[in-house]
Structure 1
């Protein structure tokens, strides 16, 4: 790709909030049990349709099991028990979050994993093991990754497999999780990681010592994103680049919010004015890293591009992927329905027809936040359940990630 010129870039700090879980009569004997009972009683009442895929009997049995585990449970065990109860909503928006006190109690191995090209891969690792970047993770403590994923699945609220893996990747290095799942006996023990190197050599098993959350930031890491493509993820909430070699305007929209430093409505007006004056051949709208917010904010851009496309005839490609969730998925469908746009990339983390419009409460004992859905969105009554599938599927590759190439953008530019 030739050098591109930055037109608009806004940098902000984006705070992410993790999400939450509902009653039978049982004597409350400790604070942990009190929080479990509070969630059990209240979450089904507040959620718009908690039992749409869950039987009341199964949920009650899960509650009884959770209460039985509280007698000698740690705060982190409580957190995972609450997550497991909340996941009975079968709703990616309904989940349990972390408090600062809980974060301080977490331990993790110095590695992180991502699901790419049909396997779990090493995406971050302590620098001494840099050669394993991109390698396939075969097992953790001898447990095959398929088994680890199966055991962890009930703890991660999801309504499709794409979001499960995207969400799981954020906590798959926690040794507290390993202990809760029974693949480790203590969060402080050494963890063995079996990896098949990207080079295709023999499997390697390495030992990694868990560290606390405070110690984690002191380590030196290698990451497979060290070579970063210009069109890759950024801290900017929204920005635009001119990809000059193909007369293409690239617009990246990373969060469905407007920021005071550069209001979104002003950004949209700038984009539309630029397109009207410059006569582009192609426009890319990148929603791959957008986990949602307020879907209504992007409506003026959808409507404006619809009018300009009819006048000028440029193509519109909307890029989607595992990080496209909630309101961002709705924006993708708005482009699909109201412009002559093509969806390109990978299946979305969000489900096309989904629960959302979240609200939140805090548990009385621990202060742990619980989020829940208050509305059911049906974008297409005829659509199969699960992820929104692109019109043109282009999956990212390990080789491209390591070399700093944006697979989707590169392949689109080559096709123009």
Structure 2
């Protein structure tokens, strides 16, 4: 099937997560309080109006009344807010959308903010102190359980007011990347007055102690002697993130590794050239598996990866190569799309939950506030991968959870080991797709089940069976068989709508057509009448009655809700037995 080529551009707009860092807001024109308040009001109105006009569904997660209440709160302190507090006020309004791609640039507050000398990281499901002043380096690696008496879960909840995160992994990542900014703690009420920031730490022996931190400006912070967790690492694994857009290398005689960090064409190494090098390496070696690492891919243009997907599809079809994709907290935006595409090819996902959501708003546009010069980016469309790919069926605005969860452990990090890669190499037989038996059954997956029940007759099509296929799907042979054998004719305009959730009536029709295609003579298994819920609104009552009497439909199913994958397997097995 690898010969079929079709571009996969889902977002249609180039997006980089770092875009906001490039935009800094200017201080408001006019020194008089009245002029400043008027300018702030104008920017606030402009921001809200543009969010309403540009965003595809601004009230998807938060009612309009909450926006108006928040806007009124901001207006009540326009003349008293500091510049930093006002900017965070604006971002708190944007954050109500709960869209990770829609946010205001707050980078300019760094010019007037102070910082605490520490950093955090996330290992083993815990917050770990990963940097501190050299005098307190004995505490580095300890678990941070609370800040100013608030458990870490409550600290994150406080920070959620200014985070545009649409899931908890993204919120955690946002907090980690800004966890030393004093202004954020003051705005969220974690710290007040001149009180220090107090971290509650628990060491490996279970002993608790406090670390009191005072904030300093950026110049003072740069003068401090700071120790980092990374300084104590024994080594760095060769699969650690590098500075390239994409790179590849052999890990050993059996495994080949591809690191894909940025959904963009490298001006020094076009993707087609890169893929030619990979093809040459695969042809020359005897690799049994390929790892595609998306753990640090924050997005870009989802279509750049197409040549690589087509290359891997060809290898899967012709050599039986095993392909595993790696995802993690850093996988976001178009990186999520590419990860789901790899799943759609039949590849297993391994690693950790992503900060990007499966279904998400995206395809951003940028606009600028007229007085402050602050820039905002706003999504222009909703990208529902669950309606495009079988691999995303039943998922929504939630992190992409890999089939095999393999977190990076703190011990392995310190030893210079890549936990995920090493476990994958050590146990290739244990890497299997998640069953997801309770997930909704899609049209494409059910056809694949019927194809297996029919004996998986060999397919050698010269073109894609339906117009809405990409050419990479694991179930392509099944759809070619279904079309050629008249089991499935599509949904119009030569499309198939493979990600659409099956109805019970569609299942009955496909089952009966499969019976007709393989020419069995099934016996009547029941003389009862199909339930009314199954017959209601039937457009092919004869197929329903035939599938029912042949025992191909489950007797005790709830026919008021769509079938699950497990029920699809049961129907396919009943068909197999009926042969």
- 1:59/1:88 contact within 8 Å kept: yes
- 1:114/1:166 contact within 8 Å kept: no
Larger radius of gyration: 2
What is residue 241 of structure 1 aligned with on the other side? 249
TM norm structure 1: 0.89
1:217 aligns with 2:222: yes
What is residue 304 of structure 2 aligned with on the other side? 297
- Indicate the structure with greater helix content: 2
1:132 aligns with 2:139: yes
What residue ranges of structure 1 are gaps of 5+ in the alignment? Answer: 1-13, 21-26
Out of 376, 384, 399, the residue aligned to residue 395 of structure 2 is 384
What is residue 74 of structure 1 aligned with on the other side? 82
Other structure's SS at 1:29 match: helix
What is residue 7 of structure 1 aligned with on the other side? none
Other structure's SS at 1:123 match: strand
Out of 348, 368, 373, the residue aligned to residue 342 of structure 1 is 348
CA deviation after TM superposition for structure 1 residue 85, in Å? 0.6
Other structure's SS at 2:19 match: coil
- 2:299/2:334 contact within 8 Å kept: yes
CA distance in 2, matches of 1:284, 1:305: 11
What is residue 44 of structure 2 aligned with on the other side? 36
What is residue 97 of structure 1 aligned with on the other side? 105
Other structure's SS at 1:348 match: coil
1:250 aligns with 2:261: no
RMSD of equivalent CA atoms: 2.1
1:18-43 Cα offsets, whole Å, 9 max, x none, are 389xxxxxx99333333222211211
CA distance in 1, matches of 2:121, 2:46: 34
Other structure's SS at 1:168 match: helix
1:317 aligns with 2:317: no
1:227-285 Cα offsets, whole Å, 9 max, x none, are 332212222221112112x5211111111112222233322221122213323111000
- Indicate the structure with greater strand content: 1
CA distance in 1, matches of 2:424, 2:139: 30
- 1:279/1:312 contact within 8 Å kept: no
What residue ranges of structure 2 are gaps of 5+ in the alignment? Answer: 1-15, 24-34, 388-392, 429-579
Return closer, same or farther for 1:293/1:123 CA change in 2, 3 Å cut-off.
same
1:112 aligns with 2:119: yes
What is residue 411 of structure 2 aligned with on the other side? 399
1:145-196 Cα offsets, whole Å, 9 max, x none, are 222111111210011111110111111211111111122224x753222111
- 1:134/1:224 contact within 8 Å kept: yes
- 1:224/1:401 contact within 8 Å kept: no
What is residue 19 of structure 2 aligned with on the other side? 17
Return closer, same or farther for 1:353/1:15 CA change in 2, 3 Å cut-off.
closer
Other structure's SS at 1:124 match: strand
CA distance in 2, matches of 1:179, 1:390: 37
Return closer, same or farther for 1:265/1:189 CA change in 2, 3 Å cut-off.
farther
CA distance in 2, matches of 1:285, 1:126: 37
CA distance in 2, matches of 1:397, 1:409: 12
Aligned residue pairs total 392
What is residue 261 of structure 1 aligned with on the other side? 268
Return closer, same or farther for 1:143/1:166 CA change in 2, 3 Å cut-off.
same
Return closer, same or farther for 1:116/1:37 CA change in 2, 3 Å cut-off.
farther
Higher relative contact order (CA 8 A, sep 6+): 1
The more displaced of 140-149 and 325-334 is: 140-149
- 1:276/1:308 contact within 8 Å kept: no
Out of 205, 210, 234, the residue aligned to residue 210 of structure 2 is 205
1:115-147 Cα offsets, whole Å, 9 max, x none, are 332222212222222222222112222222222
CA deviation after TM superposition for structure 1 residue 16, in Å? 1.7
- 2:88/2:106 contact within 8 Å kept: no
